Structure 1
Amino acid sequence: MADKKTVFITGGAGFIGLHVVPMLLEQDYKVRIFDNMFRGDRDKVAALAATGDVELIDQDVRYGGAVHQAMKGASHVIHLAAVSINKSQSDPYESMDINMIGNHNVFAAAADHGVERLVFASSASVYGDPEKLPMHEDDTLSPLTPYCISKRAGEDLLGYYQRRANLSWIALRFFNVYGPGQKTTAYYTSVINHFVNRLRNGEAPVIDGKGEQSMDFIHVHDIARSVVLALTSEKANVPVNVGTGIDTSIADLARILIDAVGSDVEPIFNPRDVLVSRRAADIQRAKDVLGFESTIAVRDGMTDLIRNGG
């Protein structure tokens, strides 16, 4: 079929990308994955490529010429490639290189090629420590790490190319993504893994403070749905929160995981002063702009993850 539209997806071989690509194929797009394969899953990409509608370009977003060349003929762009939040603090130079320069290379090429829509994976971390819940897209932004700063700057760069070249974009501010296939390096996934490993050894999870810190855990399947919806939404040129709107405390998470593992232990609370941060998305704009609502409840998603081995 010559009339299939092509989606160019950076980081398409990563955790979120590998959930997005099959949904794009279901929507009858051709897919061009652009990924340096540093953390990408070659076996999964090879299986997708066997469909005939997926190709892999093994390259790095830091090279603007490579990005520009590879994007030729694409009608839509999804930019997921980034260095993680933890890595950005241990190596700010690489973080700036990949996240800032990479953002700009992808956005500039998309503007040059006149793509129909660019979807950018931003992050709820652009808010910093929120002053109130739920966190709304128009709240003050206070990004705290090089990663978060690069996500906010990415949104600003999109605004620049919208004004300069009429680029149509949506920045999705992902909250705490979890699900099958996730690497275990993110802070909150390491919390999940720590709890689960102890539970599987018959030990109780240990929680610092009272376990009041909370996150808005959103399943990667829902994240992928939001990305695909953002490609064709009528409204554009805005940041959009992607979360459940529910803040799940660490104490609640421990109890969900205890139930999922089928253990009868009680969490151990380690009394110490903990900076209590809470997270919950205002989800109204996602409904209005994307027609999106999350479908997988935290208890269901976490239980499924534990019972099916993640």
Structure 2
Amino acid sequence: MSAIVRPATVLVTGARGYLGGRLVQYLAGRGRAVHGTSRSDRPAPDGWPAGVPLTKLDPLGDPAAAIAALSGVGTVIHLAAANEGRSASEPDAALAETGAGTRRLVEAAVAAGVERFVFLSTIHVYGTPLRGLLSETDRVRPVHPYAITHQVGEAFTLAASDAGRIEGVVIRLSNAIGAPAWIDVDRWTLLANDLARQAVRTGEVVLRTPGQWRDFIALSDVCQAVERIIDAPSQALRDGIVNLASGRTSRVDDIAVRVARAAEKELGRPIVVHGPTPDVGAAEPPFTLSVDRLQRLGLVLSTTESLDHALAETIRLLKHRSLRTDSPRPR
């Protein structure tokens, strides 16, 4: 049987966001036909790729407008969702935004003839705290509203796929590290971003949650993996769920130290680190994310070098912004 040839255009929702902006830049740089959408009707930010459309699309808005926006699109990558803070403070609104919004966008994609619908979810659908070896076939037990609402989005995506209405793919992302596409992306509360901002602003890194374990993956690797997933043949994606992680669990204390070292190199001054716990040596991480499915797609992600590069690029972005802010204004 010959392979299905999908229309070339990839539409990315949430394209002004942390991952969305980087993904649009990456795909455009790879020569892909890409279209970004946002719930905002603000002009494209500085640094938006030339020739890439950015249009307003509210998944909870007019269904006809959504169908029109998706016309001629081969793959939808759906990133538009309520973040952790909004999910915690306004869970009902987050459920509508992430859950119902995903359902309605899936319906629009089906009506528009989209071939593949990719929903970006989170590893936290497995539960809190994470324990043991976690693979895509494990039962999900989300606790935080952010994870619960994403599990709802997963369910709508996979239900449409199982019914043969569209090819649905769920990507469960771990903790991404790297510079946003533009400085005004509101994700500076993420651990590595917050630590990097502290280093540039104050010359210190204060870790408020020492001892935690996480799986970190570089944004550059995330973009590479997403492209590989959207191009993968259907049979390679199995049941349509893929963990997108490094498969290596490390302490946040280690990341704090690495942020400080990256900042010292980029800024040329010492950075004081507060908060990391003493090296526990043989302590075993409480969980590991299975990345067997990624590896079957030919991906080996987030080496030490790629994580260090991700931290350095974040420092450089903050340093550049700081220099621009501190420069005297022309009279």
Measured against the shorter chain, the TM-score band is 0.7 to 0.9
Shift of 1:269: 5.7
Q: What letter is aligned with 2:299?
A: F
- Could you tell me how far apart the structure 1 residues matched to 2:215 and 2:207 are? 21
TM-superposition CA deviations, 1:261-303 (whole Å, max 9, x none) = 22364534699xxxxx956421111112x33221453334223
Q: What letter is aligned with 2:289?
A: A
Q: What letter is aligned with 1:224?
A: C
Q: Aligned residue for 1:242?
A: 244
- Could you tell me how far apart the structure 1 residues matched to 2:149 and 2:273 are? 40
Q: Aligned residue for 1:104?
A: 103
Distance of aligned partners of 1:164 and 1:113 in 2 relative to their CA distance in 1, 3 Å threshold = farther
Range with greater deviation from structure 2 (163-172 or 225-234): 163-172
Contact 1:117 1:232 in 2 (8 A): no
Structure 1 length-normalised TM: 0.83
**Residue 10 of structure 1 is aligned with which of 5, 13, 17?**
13
Q: Aligned residue for 1:287?
A: 295
Shift of 1:113: 2.8
- Could you tell me how far apart the structure 2 residues matched to 1:226 and 1:214 are? 23
Q: Aligned residue for 2:57?
A: 59
In the alignment, is residue 197 of structure 1 matched against residue 198 of structure 2? yes
Distance of aligned partners of 1:139 and 1:231 in 2 relative to their CA distance in 1, 3 Å threshold = same
**Residue 33 of structure 2 is aligned with which of 27, 30, 35?**
30
Contact 2:196 2:263 in 1 (8 A): no
TM-superposition CA deviations, 1:54-95 (whole Å, max 9, x none) = 222212111233212211111111111111011111111221
Range with greater deviation from structure 2 (66-75 or 260-269): 260-269
Contact 2:15 2:36 in 1 (8 A): yes
Q: What letter is aligned with 1:21?
A: V
Q: What letter is aligned with 1:294?
A: L
Q: Aligned residue for 1:231?
A: 230
Q: Cα RMSD between the aligned structures?
A: 2.9
**Residue 306 of structure 1 is aligned with which of 289, 298, 315?**
315
Shift of 1:147: 2.1
In the alignment, is residue 21 of structure 1 matched against residue 24 of structure 2? yes
Contact 1:260 1:302 in 2 (8 A): yes
1:1-310 superposed matches below 5 A: 5-37=8-40, 42-44=44-46, 47-48=48-49, 50-51=50-51, 54-63=52-61, 64-130=63-129, 132-181=131-180, 183=185, 185=187, 188-189=190-191, 192-194=193-195, 196-197=197-198, 201-203=202-204, 205-208=206-209, 211-234=210-233, 235-236=236-237, 237-262=239-264, 263=270, 265-268=272-275, 280-288=288-296, 290-297=297-304, 298-309=307-318
- Could you tell me how far apart the structure 2 residues matched to 1:37 and 1:5 are? 25
TM-superposition CA deviations, 1:120-143 (whole Å, max 9, x none) = 111111112255344221223111
- Could you tell me how far apart the structure 2 residues matched to 1:131 and 1:31 are? 35
The runs of 5 or more residues in structure 1 that have no matched partner are 272-276
Contact 2:95 2:149 in 1 (8 A): yes
Distance of aligned partners of 1:269 and 1:301 in 2 relative to their CA distance in 1, 3 Å threshold = closer
- Could you tell me how far apart the structure 1 residues matched to 2:18 and 2:259 are? 22
- Could you tell me how far apart the structure 1 residues matched to 2:92 and 2:103 are? 16
Range with greater deviation from structure 2 (241-250 or 193-202): 193-202
Q: Identity rate of aligned residues, in percent?
A: 24
Structure 2 length-normalised TM: 0.78
- Could you tell me how far apart the structure 2 residues matched to 1:94 and 1:306 are? 34
Q: Aligned residue for 2:323?
A: none
Distance of aligned partners of 1:109 and 1:101 in 2 relative to their CA distance in 1, 3 Å threshold = same
Shift of 1:173: 0.6
Secondary structure at 1:42 match in 2: coil
